[in-house]
Amino acid sequence: MRNHGLKVLGATAFAFALLFGNAVRAGEAVESEVMLLMPVFEPEHGRALFGGKGCVVCHSVNGIGGEEGPALDYDPANGPLNLFEIAADMWDHAATMVPLQKEDLGQQITLGDKEFADLVGFLASPAEQKKFSLADVPPNMKELLEKEREEDGEKEQSSD
């Protein structure tokens, strides 16, 4: 019975590796000291967070949102998103993003681990991104978006 459990565990690990990075090659036994918990991603909750937390003020998805930061539309040509790359990018840009968040939102955006997982799930879900609309943006965030657009329009007029 114990051997059957190990076979199932091994097959599961192999399938997981194939789906998430090809870390295991066919026929190889891999031992690892890494103990990593992968969260459950809920893209629909991530869609609500993208609008509600204020990410939408600087970033756009599906043509909706600000332009201070890059658009975050999923591009299938780039292949699957890498969770750790997203975390590293956010860390690398924190010195720029946090002051802008405090200026635009009045506070730094904070995310718990589940919120981060759901936000990443949204960023990695073309189907969920297609659903993103102005209805997902709360009134206070819509006001900030409008204010940003007005300020950008004034800057363009003064530079003419």
User: Do 32 and 47 have their domain in common?
Assistant: no
Angstrom distance (rounded) from CA 160 to CA 158:
6
User: Do 144 and 83 have their domain in common?
Assistant: yes
User: Do 142 and 107 have their domain in common?
Assistant: yes
Placement of tokens 């709360």 in the chain: 138
User: Do 28 and 47 have their domain in common?
Assistant: no
Single-letter amino acid, residue 98 = V
Q: What is the pLDDT of residue 36?
A: 83
* Number of CB atoms found within 10 A of residue 88's CB: 11
Tokens of 12: 């599961």
Q: What is the pLDDT of residue 10?
A: 42
SS3 3: helix
User: Do 99 and 146 have their domain in common?
Assistant: yes
User: Do 27 and 47 have their domain in common?
Assistant: no
Give the domain range for residue 52: 43-159
User: Do 108 and 144 have their domain in common?
Assistant: yes
User: Do 20 and 84 have their domain in common?
Assistant: no
User: Do 8 and 49 have their domain in common?
Assistant: no
Q: Could you tell me how far CA 63 lies from the centroid of its own chain?
A: 16
**pTM of model > 0.85:** no
Q: What is the pLDDT along the chain (160 residues), one digit of tens a residue?
A: 444 433 444 444 444 444 444 444 445 556 678 888 888 999 999 999 999 999 999 999 999 999 999 999 999 999 999 999 999 999 999 999 999 999 999 999 999 999 999 999 999 999 999 999 999 999 999 999 998 888 877 666 666 6
Number of structural domains in the chain? 2
Among 127, 16, 146, 15, which Cα is nearest to 61's? 127
Question: Is 56:146 a contact under the CB 8 Å cutoff?
Answer: no
Task: Give the CATH number of the domain where residue 97 resides.
Answer: 1.10.760
Question: How many helices and strands (H and E) does the chain possess?
Answer: 8, 2
